[in-house]
Amino acid sequence: MKKLFKKINLILCLMVTIFSIMSVSIKAEEIKQNKEVVHQLRTDVLPRRIYIKDKIFYNTGGLPKKYRYHQETRDGVVYSGKLTLTQYQSTGDGYLGLYSGYIYR
């Protein structure tokens, strides 16, 4: 009788071990898939580049430069890049320049 209980106990332990290993591997697979979905959603929602139109900069040291580096944060993501001078106008003691272009994350 004791031998029978030992065998049943060993079989139950073996079944519990196999079940726990299978459940851990299934959960790991689900976590991996969830991370991929979250990453994909984040990259789908946030654009890779943003078009900046008519950004105004004031320049007192002569004519404005043809290109101007610009950086800004939107939705927790930093976008930066080079804007191109599209127009400029004298203000008497300096120049106002309008810059446009794409900035990238």
Q: Phi, psi at residue 92, to the nearest 5°?
A: 105, -55
Please answer whether residues 71 and 78 qualify as being in contact, where contact means their C-beta atoms are separated by less than 8 angstroms: yes
Single pTM value for the model: 0.56
Supply the mean pLDDT for the chain.
79
Model confidence pLDDT, tens digit, residues 35-78: 666 655 555 677 888 999 888 888 877 888 899 999 998 877 88
DSSP state of 12: H
Please determine, for residue 91, whether its predicted confidence score (pLDDT) is greater than 80. Answer: yes
Please report which confidence band the pLDDT of residue 100 belongs to, taking 50, 70 and 90 as the band edges. very high
